[in-house]
Chain A
Amino acid sequence: MGPKRGHGTPQPRFGLEVQLDKIAEQLKLDPAAMRRANLVKPDTVTANYLRIGSMGLGQCIDKIVDGSDWKNKFSGWNANDRKLPRGKGIGIACSSYICGAGLPIYWNNMPQSGVQLRLDRQGGVCVMCGSTDIGQGSDSILAYIVAEVLGIDPFDIRVITADTDLTPVDLGSYSSRVTLMTGNAAIQAAERARELLVMAVAEKLSLPIENISLAERRVFDVENPEIGVSFAEAVVLAESKFGTIGTVGSYSPPRSPGRYKGAGVGPSPAYSYSAAIAEVDVDPETGIVVVERVWIAHDIGKSINPMLVMGQVEGSVYMGLGEVLMEEMTYRGNRNVVHKFPSMLEYKSPTTMEMCDVKTYLIEDPDPNGPYGAKEVGQGPLLPVPPAVANAVYDAVGVRIDEVPITPEKVLKALRDKARGRDGRYGPGPVPSVEWPEPLRVLTPAEGGDGKEMPRVAVHS
């Protein structure tokens, strides 16, 4: 699987979600209901000391189960009483993803994101931030957030990003961190600017500060909205009173409750959740898998721009299809090692011809740590797609392909093995033996732990 998106996470997530499907089969449980019954609770700390804020996975599962008509399609692990014809199958998988890493990628105590604002006398606002828009729309998020706080239009805002001469540091577009971290920094900078405007206008109108509100490019009295000044006039008043108006904001994630060695892996200000159901058509004669439809629900916390969020979710489905059906990092043998498919012609990605129908649901359960409650949508929704397809292939033809990409050769081989009475499974063999170090013992929160590892007992031999 090539690292197109969310690298490092799709692999264990694939293994976990396929494993959950196998467990559900052994226990004869509905895999959707089994997941629904084992959700982590909101506003809790997990056994490994990750602090969960909002948690909308239950709603995600409900949405896709209803939308896909799961209950009338899933075989219920009974091959003799199928609801879909043989060759058609349906599978489910879920996932969670961090909204930025709790610790900075370059270890230091400074903020992970900084935003600088400059207000000019004509009422224009310039937002400067080191973040890099890689097509996901993060520049526009800065404009929406500052516009919301200052009661102006996003079109009044000039955004300057990714220019190390002009912008304060942001650590970059990785770990699905940009909206949450730059958004929080932008809110802080904009609120500081708003405070200056409000003080100047309150003094001018002889009103108490708490009466002043900002909306529709005006700064006005909430009790008598006709009394007020334009946003540009407010900037002039503030500049006359305080001097040139420029503010800064920054964001550092809250400290993780985990204190044990290794606790730095996984903490995040917030976690997004996704659930997907895939419906596939598998030709048992050729092994060709066609993904016909995907229903996907994503707990975004709050959509700052729903169109961008939907685009990210659907793009994730597309990239998930590539990872599960085609993309492969393969190297030649063990001598003269070269990448087997070093060009985009041989390294196959889906085209529009392979793209399936997608039904997207956005679940909004605002997270206290997100800007306006927003969580990530960069990498999370990719994760359930490959295992949902693998689980659907099993439902369709009864063979487990425990390895991506799921190619026709692998499906055929598993089908033929099964027909000969062998295990209908294609995938890696046993886990290689590993010499594990002595484990650390950490009491979980439920066991009364404090996040630190337990002292090692010295063993004398």
Chain B
Amino acid sequence: MMRLPKFDYRTPREIAEAVKIMAGSGPEGQFVAGGTDLYPNMKRRQQTPRTVISVMRVPELNQITGDGRSGIRIGASVTLTDIVEHPLINRDYPVIARAARTISTPILRNMGTIGGNLLLDTRCNYYDQNYEWRKGINFCLKKDGDVCWVAPGSSKCWAVQSVRTCVPVMVAIGAKFRLASTLGERMIDAAGFYNDDGIDYLKKRPDELLVDIHLPPTNGWRASYQKLRRRGAFDFPVLGVAAWVKHGSRRFSQRCTSHPRRYRAGAAGSERGRRSFDRPTTRQRTHSRCR
């Protein structure tokens, strides 16, 4: 049986307190929300933080405010179940609710949060295993080893399985993330938030806390999300695709992002490949681009 390593568990009530504890903990600190990913990882010794800082009791991270006219702010620790069931999100941002509904299982959605989904550690069959298994293959580049078993000649970690269901949607609709630390706050576009690297996969510093997600006003655009996976539930995506279209008075613009299993540099479908087209387009062309 795998047990959790020992750690200090902190439950701050304010953002300022949370980021202060994190600044004091240094590299041994780790934020946790629902814990559906972190705790299993800790049992497998993929991460072994000394200080685990829960953000579930920070009220500001638990709120959904605004509406489709003004834009919505979703706190990072709102559970996926709450997003699936939220009337305003279902009315104004149905694509978000639909994408969240495809994540894992109802039980895990009750605990898992939107922030956790957006910040999820990258996955790989050589990494998401227990300590003894990883030791059995002499570990891997992402953790404790020096070879990437996906591509043994590579100097880069290829643990880039597309597991964060909501990311293509956030990129396609142009969401922004608010990050906080003891140094202050900053906003960052979803499209610029992710790196093409299995180890250094976020543009977030470890001491920064994802506070909330800002969805833009819904003035005339529509979006859709499709997910490919091995089975219809309880599975990570092999591929996720989100599309965004806006009908203007004389022009039609579209964005389309996919979330491929392995990003290829320059591929139009990478997370950073958000594109706008301001020429008239047909429904057919939109469809083919989104494929």
Contacts and interface: CB of A to CB of B under 8 A. Distances in A.
Interface of A: 326, 332, 336, 338, 340-343, 345-346, 348, 350-354
B124 to A, nearest CB: 11
Contacts of A338: 129, 133, 136-137
Contact of A348 (B125, B137, B138, B231): B231
B232 A353 contact: yes
Contacts of B128: 346
B233 interface: yes
Contacts of A350: 231
B235 A348 contact: yes
B277 interface: no
Interface in B198-246: 230-235
A342 B133 contact: yes
A351 B232 CA distance: 7
Contact of B125 (A346, A351, A352, A353): A346
B231 A326 contact: yes
A336 B138 contact: yes
Contacts of B133: 338, 342
Top 10 A-B residue pairs of the complex, sorted by shortest distance between their CB atoms: A353-B232, A351-B233, A336-B137, A338-B136, A353-B233, A348-B230, A351-B231, A338-B133, A354-B231, A336-B136
Given A345-B234, A348-B230, A351-B232, 5 more contacts: A326-B230, A338-B129, A346-B128, A351-B231, A353-B232
Contacts of B137: 332, 336, 338
| B-side interface size class | 10 to 19
A406 to B, nearest CB: 13
Nearest to B228: A286
Contact of B231 (A332, A340, A341, A353): A353
B235 A354 contact: no
B125 A340 contact: yes
A346 B230 CA distance: 10
Nearest to A339: B133
27 contacts: A326-B230, A332-B137, A336-B136, A336-B137, A336-B138, A338-B129, A338-B133, A338-B136, A338-B137, A340-B125, A341-B125, A342-B129, A342-B133, A343-B129, A345-B234, A346-B125, A348-B230, A348-B231, A350-B231, A351-B231, A351-B232, A351-B233, A353-B231, A353-B232, A353-B233, A354-B231, A354-B232
B125 to A, nearest CB: 7
Interface of B: 125, 128-129, 133, 136-138, 230-235
A342 B2 CA distance: 14
Contacts of A342: 129, 133
A345 B123 CA distance: 12
A345 B236 CA distance: 9
Nearest to A350: B231
Contact of A351 (B129, B136, B138, B234): B234
Nearest to B138: A336
A351 B235 CA distance: 10
Contacts of B232: 351, 353-354
Nearest to A349: B231
Contacts of A346: 125, 128
Nearest to A341: B125
B167 to A, nearest CB: 20
Contacts of B233: 351-353
Contacts of A351: 231-234
A354 B235 CA distance: 12
A262 to B, nearest CB: 39
Among A338, A340, A350: residue with most chain B CB under 10 A: A338
Contacts of A348: 230-231, 235
Nearest to A337: B136
A352 B232 CA distance: 8
A329 to B, nearest CB: 15
Contacts of A340: 125
B144 to A, nearest CB: 14
Contacts of B231: 326, 348, 350-351, 353-354
Contacts of A341: 125
Nearest to B105: A351
Contacts of B234: 345, 351
A353 B101 CA distance: 14
A336 B137 CA distance: 5
Nearest to B130: A342
B155 to A, nearest CB: 21
A342 B132 CA distance: 12
A452 to B, nearest CB: 50
Nearest to B230: A348
Contacts of A352: 233
A290 to B, nearest CB: 10
